[in-house]
Amino acid sequence: SQQGEEDPQALSIQEGENATMNCSYKTSINNLQWYRQNSGRGLVHLILIRSNEREKHSGRLRVTLDTSKKSSSLLITASRAADTASYFCATWANSGYALNFGKGTSLLVTP
Amino acid sequence: DVKVTQSLRYLVKRTGEKVFLECVQDMDHENMFWYRQDPGLGLRLIYFSYDVKMKEKGDIPEGYSVSREKKERFSLILESASTNQTSMYLCASRSGGSYGYTFGSGTRLTVV
């Protein structure tokens, strides 16, 4: 069962612009993670934000979390063509062992 | 560099054939997972294992089985492949003490 849903489904921007992706989830969480997937490859873990954190930074990535709205956003600043990928949010399933992933946002960054 | 290896990138099988997809990790991780990824459906959990010889059904286990005889290896088995099992299969592992997954590169299976 999928917990998170990303929005928008697809996003197209030019290099240098910022890209913002949103994730909404349904139940309470301890943490939320973001992953990137380059075309035809596996997913790569980007960043984790805990439920008691509101914002977290890692390089050009900024993640926010609003537990009252059950939503998170991923901001990529000064986008590059190499950022072209799909981005997924993930939260823990009820089992506590496995992650549920959203359907992802497909980001295209054009030169 | 830590790795999850899915040695087959592409695989084509005929309907009814038995299919083995292998996943090997070199990080001594306790937990391993199999997902399938389909356009418009995202990633769906098939099976996972939290220890050697242990397995748990995920959201879509029908038509699949798994084997984990050694800690580093988690195999996904399609007993009798069907065309609706054409998909990208992703293996992942996780240490019990951490939250993030490490994924393999995936195997794109086509059943004809």
Buried b (16+ CB within 10 A) or exposed e, A75-98: ebeebeeebbbbbbbbbbbeeebb
Interface test with A, best of B43, B51, B87 (most A CBs within 10 A): B43
Rounded Cα–Cα distance for residues B33 and B31 (Å): 7
We report the CATH number of the domain holding residue A72 as 2.60.40.10
Question: Which pLDDT does position B99 carry in this prediction?
Answer: 81
Q: Are A24 and A71 in contact (CB under 8 A)?
A: yes
pLDDT at B15 over 80: yes
Rounded Cα–Cα distance for residues A42 and B91 (Å): 8
Tell me how far the alpha carbon of residue B40 is from its chain's centroid.
20
* CB-nearest partner of B99 from A42, A48, A104: A48
pLDDT at A2 over 60: no
pLDDT at B2 over 70: no
Rounded Cα–Cα distance for residues A91 and A93 (Å): 7
Question: Which pLDDT does position A3 carry in this prediction?
Answer: 64
Rounded Cα–Cα distance for residues B88 and A68 (Å): 35
Contacts of B105 in chain A (CB under 8 A): 41-42
Interface test with B, best of A31, A41, A56, A105 (most B CBs within 10 A): A41
pLDDT at A1 over 70: no
Question: Which pLDDT does position A46 carry in this prediction?
Answer: 96
| Domains in chain B: boundaries | 4-98
Domain containing residue A50: 5-110
Give the residue on A whose Cα is nearest the Cα of B32.
Answer: A98
pLDDT at B104 over 60: yes
Query: B101, A1: Cβ pair inside 8 Å?
Result: no
Running DSSP on this structure, what letter comes out for residue A51? T
Query: B33, A35: Cβ pair inside 8 Å?
Result: no
* CB-nearest partner of B31 from A42, A44, A97: A97
* CB-nearest partner of A101 from B42, B56, B108: B42
Those residues with Cβ within 8 angstroms of residue A64's Cβ, 6 or more apart along the chain or in another chain: A49, A54, A55, A56, A72, A73, A75
pLDDT tens, residue by residue, B59-102: 999 999 999 999 999 999 999 999 999 999 999 999 877 788 99
Handedness of CA B88, B36, A49, A109 (dihedral sign): positive
User: If you average pLDDT over each of A40-44, A106-110, B27-31, which comes out highest?
Assistant: A106-110
Rounded Cα–Cα distance for residues A42 and B107 (Å): 9
Rounded Cα–Cα distance for residues A100 and A92 (Å): 6
Q: Are B16 and B80 in contact (CB under 8 A)?
A: yes
Question: Which pLDDT does position B40 carry in this prediction?
Answer: 86
Number of domains in chain A: 1
Question: Which pLDDT does position A97 carry in this prediction?
Answer: 76
> In this prediction, what percent of chain A has a pLDDT beyond 70?
95
pLDDT at A45 over 80: yes
> pLDDT-derived band of residue B1, with 50, 70 and 90 as boundaries?
low
Tell me if residue B56 falls in helix, strand or coil: strand
Q: Would you tell me which residues 41-100 of chain A have a C-beta closer than 8 angstroms to some C-beta of chain B?
A: 41-45, 48, 88, 90, 93, 95, 97-100
Topology of the domain comprising B4-98: Immunoglobulin-like (2.60.40)
Q: What's the half-sphere exposure (Cβ side, CA atoms, 13 Å) at A9?
A: 5
